[in-house]
Amino acid sequence: MRGLPLVIANSQIRRRAIILTASYEARKYGVKSAMPLEEALRLCPNLYIVPPRMELYQSYSSLFFEYLYTITPLVEPGSIDEGYLDVTERCETENALELAEKIQEDIFEKFHLPCSIGIGPNKFLAKMASDMKKPMGITVLRKREIAEKMWPLPISAMFGVGKKTVPLLEMIGIKTIGDLANYRDLKMLEETIGPTNAKSLYAHAHGEGSKEIDLNSHQVVSSISNSQTFDQDEYLISNMKLNLKILANSVANRLEKRNLKAYTFTVQIRYHDFKTVSKTRTLDNPTDDDHEINRVASALFDDLYDGETPVRLLGVGASKLIKAQEEVRQLSIFDDYDEEEKKHSVNKLVASLQESFGDKIINKGFTLTKKPNSPDK
The phi, psi pair for 206, rounded to 5°, reads -95, 10
The pairing of beta strand 311-323 with beta strand 260-271: antiparallel
Q: Is 76 a catalytic residue?
A: no
Q: How many Å apart are CA 76 and CA 87, to the nearest integer?
A: 12
Is residue 20 within 8 Å of 9, Cβ to Cβ?
A: yes
- Position 343: which residue type? K
Q: What type of residue is 314?
A: L
DSSP state of 22: E
Helix (H, G, I), strand (E, B) or coil at 227: strand
Exposure string for 189-204, b = 16+ CB within 10 A, e = fewer:
beebbeeebbebbbeb
**What element of type H or E holds 236?**
none
Q: How far apart are the first and last CA of the chain?
A: 39
The DSSP element (H or E) to which 314 belongs, if any, is: strand 311-323
- Which residue in 82, 170, 208, 234 is the catalytic one? 82
Instruction: Give the active site residues.
Output: 82
